[in-house]
Amino acid sequence: MSTDIYGCIETRHPCADHDWYDDAPWLYAMDLSPLYSGNDYTAFGCLFGVRNYAGWEPVAAGRGLPGDVSAQVRGDYERWAPLDTLHGATWVAWQELEAIDMGAVPRGSRGLLRVQEPETSAAVWEYWVTDTWPIEIINRFGEPPVGSSPATARHGTWTSGSATLGFHRVTRGQAIGPGSGWEHVFAVMKALAGRFGPRGVRLVAYFD
């Protein structure tokens, strides 16, 4: 069963710290879905530690819903929570997102192995590789010519029969940068931060 993401962008009212202000400090700004509707596990793991097959050091994993989350987000979450399918609730401020090192790579893997075969051209099989090549790859295609050990293998692409295989280094920039879909989320958050400040804009997210 696939995992999907839900959530929204919230902003903190500029007057929330004043004694006279008695409304909710955080306000619902925009739903996540028009900006990002994908379910790329590489990005989920990179940002939130969900489906983290690559072994990323996640930016904001398992923080739960903020205690001062907006009423709309809490209501949406609590409406679905009784179905017992939601998990991974968390939040992250724009201040944290804008500080991400986009050149960083996952610590828990040596790289991403992609396999594409003509008869299944619509599908690309992906394997996050640690210190040994996947046994099914060895059995089917033999030892990769890029190296006997992923720890010392060079990155590159090769063919085996009709299949094309590639062993690639994946950075945070590739996981959540331009072309990933997340650039739209970040662009909106950055624009809002111009009004509310980098700590006054956050993304609240959860998964099923």
Can you give the residue ranges of every domain in the chain? 5-103+174-207, 111-168
Rg (the chain; Cα; Å) = 20
Residue 80 is predicted with a pLDDT of 83
As a whole number of angstroms, the distance between CA 111 and CA 105 comes to: 9
d(CA 78, CA 81): 5
pLDDT at 33: 95
Average pLDDT over residues 155-169: 95
Calculate the alpha carbon distances from 68 to 25, 147, 151 in Å.
Answer: 7, 52, 45
Question: What b/e string do you get for 86-120 counting C-beta neighbours within 10 Å, with b at 16 or more?
Answer: eebbbbbbbebbeebeeeebbeebbbbbebbeeee
Residue 121 scores a pLDDT above 70: no
Strand 111-116, strand 125-129: pairing: antiparallel
Say whether pLDDT at 122 is over 90.
no
Angstrom distances, CA of residue 60 to CA of 22, 36, 92, 177, 202: 29, 18, 6, 17, 11
Give yes or no for a contact between 114 and 93, defined as CB atoms under 8 angstroms apart. Answer: no
pLDDT averaged over every residue in the chain: 95
Closest CA to 150 of 117, 127, 123: 127
